Amino acid sequence: MKIKSTLFVLAALLVTGFAQAQANWNWPADAQDEAKARELNAAYTDYMKSEQFVEATGPLNWLLTNVPELNESIYINGVTVYKGAADGEADAEKKRIYQDSVISIYEKRAEIYNNEPNWIENKAYFSYNFYKGNKEKLGDVVGNFEKAIELNGELSIPGLYAAYFDAVYRNNAYNKVYTPEQVLDKYDQIQAFLDAKEAEGVDVSGPRGTTEKVLVAMKLIDCDFIENTMGPRLMEDPTNEKLADQIFKYSVQYKCFSSDAFLAALELIDSKNPTFATSQVRAMRYLQEEDFEKAEPVLEKAYELAENDAQKAEVRLELAKLYGEQGRRSDARSAAREVAQLDEEKAAEAWKLIGDLYMGSFNICKGGESRAKDYSVFIAAYGAYQRAGNNQGMANARARFPSKEELFTEGLQVGSTINTGCWIGETVTLATRD
């Protein structure tokens, strides 16, 4: 949190409040009391201007006690005086008394003047700085921030969200007052506020980064929490898009991709607001589970949602593998060839896949009448591996070429051509393994 910037803004708010407070003075009716009030008012302000804050507390305290409705300026200046006294005090007990006085001044001000929304953020900020290490006071600190949000609809200074969430973290660490779900709700609300500020052009990278670090430090979330706590809630309310978004976000953040909760959230999100990424990841989960029937239409949807040829190639490559697993070899080859055309970087993998398809087709394609024809599938495979630049594949395929003797026996020669037949249907140039 950018403390200096925050203090500057708060100081500006205080100055504004002071100027507005000067209009209405309620001096005591008794002349003697009025004279004393005027004297002490002048005394404390002189001390304050010369930054003699401890000296200022005496006359100011008399005014706050005896003429509490004198003018709102005694409350505005009171914060400055007691905060200054606290900052300059080395004794911990005395410092705490001065700090408590700052908060008491805000509370007394709230009783007299109906303008709490104007300064509640200041109170929240000071209470955080005074009490963030005080177990008994942390609930009040959190309450001050939440009161500010309740009264004004937001915190006007984005940096205060970081202080607010840190107070939540500390309150939970000391007092165990929230369930993990309640903490996550507060975190998500804060992110929504920061999103709104960002949409207005405000830089919220600082408080966003701080709140994210605080959430990680709380160690509330892991894969077990997502699966066993958040997952059942989604099962009970399978149309809860907000919960699904939370599960998806945390699953990605904590790399919990194998959970059923992640898949359930992903299915809901992808069904309602599909993107290339959600459809692709959803399809990959189905492929991991070898649920090809579910995977295929989702991959096809991802292809339609792809934003460029590289993304299309990614999807087509997965479809090629899926078709291969289903025994749809011709479809697999067509998809792989499309991959090679779409993305040069994936061409090698695509051609290797075609080579593997050819290598695995020997038993289904052999006719048993011509060894040269039967083994020609390996020559076709060699060509695919060659285009892939796969030396190991080329060596394996060449080892299965027909021999010179086998060609001679069939009246064939090296360099002549033959069609593989079967689904491959390629015309290849005969070569031998020896």
One domain, residues 50 and 86: yes
Residue 246 lies in a domain: no
pLDDT band (50, 70, 90) for residue 8: very low
**Cβ atoms within 10 Å of 90's Cβ, excluding its own:** 6
> Worst-scoring range by mean pLDDT, 16-20, 123-127, 157-161, 277-281?
16-20
Residues 316 and 374 in one domain: no
First to last CA, the chain: 74
Q: What's the predicted TM-score (pTM) here?
A: 0.64
Question: Which are the contacts of 52, defined by CB distance < 8 A and separation ≥ 6?
Answer: none
List pLDDT tens digits, range 370-429: 999 999 999 999 999 999 999 999 999 999 999 999 999 999 999 999 999 999 999 999
422 & 355 share domain: no
| Domain-located, residue 154 | no
Give domain status of residue 170, yes or no: no
Which among 187, 254, 267, 188 is positioned nearest to 227, based on CA atoms? 254
Return the closest-CA partner of residue 420 out of 409, 430, 412.
430
The domain tally of the chain equals: 3
If asked whether residues 100 and 4 sit together in one domain, one would say yes
Confidence of residue 5 (pLDDT cuts 50, 70, 90): very low
Q: 85 and 11 in one domain? A: yes
Q: Say yes or no: 305 and 405 in one domain.
A: no
Among the three residues 359, 388, 420, which one is the final residue of a domain in this structure?
Answer: 359
Whether 5 and 78 share a structural domain: yes
Please tell me the least confidently modeled range out of 15-19, 29-33, 134-138, 282-286.
15-19
pLDDT band at 21 (very low <50, low <70, confident <90, very high): low
Do 51 and 4 lie in one domain? The reply is yes
Give a yes or no: residue 341 inside a domain: yes
CA atoms within 13 A on the CB side of 160: 26
Distance of CA 120 to the CA centre of its chain: 30
Contact between 118 and 17 (Cβ < 8 Å):
yes
pLDDT given for residue 242 in this prediction: 85
Task: Give the pLDDT mean for 111-132.
Answer: 96
Q: What is the mean pLDDT of residues 148-158?
A: 96
Label residues 245-264 b or e (16+ Cβ within 10 Å = b): ebbbebbeeeebeebebbbb
Pairing of strands 427-429, 417-419: antiparallel
Q: What is the pLDDT of residue 253?
A: 83
Kindly report the average pLDDT of the chain as a whole number: 93
Final residue of a structural domain among 310, 344, 359: 359
> Could you list the residue range(s) of the whole structural domain that residue 384 is in?
366-434
Q: Flag whether pLDDT at 11 surpasses 50.
A: no
In terms of average pLDDT, the best of 8-12, 14-18, 384-388 is: 384-388
Let me know whether 67 and 87 are in one domain.
yes
Could you give the C-alpha distances from 12 to 9, 308, 410, in angstroms and in order?
5, 50, 99
Q: Tens digit of pLDDT for each residue in 157-186? A: 999 999 999 999 999 999 999 998 899 889
Does residue 129 form part of some domain?
no
Each residue's pLDDT tens digit, 22-43:
668 999 999 999 999 999 999 9
428 lies in some domain:
yes
- Average pLDDT (191-195) is 93
CA-to-CA distance for 409 and 328, rounded, in angstroms?
Answer: 35
Contact 389, 378 (CB under 8 A): no
Same domain, 343 and 401: no
Domain shared by 371 and 354, yes or no: no
Confidence label for 2 from pLDDT (cuts 50, 70 and 90): very low
Burial of 144 (0-12, 13-18, 19+ CB in 10 A): buried
pLDDT tens digits along 334-354: 999 999 999 999 999 999 999
How does pLDDT run across 233-265, given as a tens digit for each residue? 999 999 999 889 989 988 988 889 999 999 999
Using CA of residue 40, residue 42, residue 47, residue 49, what is the dihedral sign?
Answer: positive
Domain boundary among the residues 340, 359, 378 is at 359
The confidence score (pLDDT) of residue 3 equals: 40
Judge whether 376 lies within some domain: yes
* Cβ-proximal residues to 97 (8 Å cutoff; 6+ apart), any chain: none
232 within domain boundaries: no
Residues 294 and 387 in one domain: no
